[in-house]
Amino acid sequence: MEKIPILKMGPFLLVTIQVDLYDRLALSLEADLVQMVKKTAAKGVLIDISAVSIVDSFMGRIFGNIAGMCKILDAETVVVGMQPAVAITLIELGLPLTGVHTALDVEKGMKLLTSKVDIDIESDDDLDDDHNTI
């Protein structure tokens, strides 16, 4: 079966979703990510969805699940790069991305994670305030 690669970058895990997710692929990503957070004791998870053109309630829920489970494992989740059309659609659909932080791009997402997490990486935390929780 097809799988979505998870990269380890220091204390964080990075996932770049490049394909259209069908349900089983999304569910296996959820399971793999949580496993990996547990195994590596990662402090943060960054999910890049800049190549994703559709987020429906199912996928939105998957992001929420991932964030919820990671939180229990002491890791924060940031979803980055959501296309404006996707964000507008999610709001109209009425889907709350509870517990999921969002940021404009991977770099800003990294900054956000670093600021949230209690680790000593060279302080470079003039954090832009273009992230939020929807």
In the complex with another protein, which residue's Cβ is closer, 40 or 83?
83
Q: Least distance to another protein from the beta carbon of 89, Å?
A: 5
Angle between helices 23-40 and 57-72 (to 10 degrees): 10
Q: How far apart are CA 97 and CA 128, in angstroms?
A: 21
Q: Is residue 51 within the footprint of another protein (CB under 8 A)?
A: no
**Can you tell me which of 58, 72, 73, 107 binds another protein, judged by CB under 8 A?**
58
Binders of another protein among residues 63 to 92 (CB under 8 A) are: 83-86, 88-89, 92
Binding mask 17-46 for another protein (x = CB under 8 A): ---x-xxx----------------------
Residues within the interface to another protein (CB under 8 A): 20, 22-24, 53-58, 61, 83-86, 88-89, 92-95
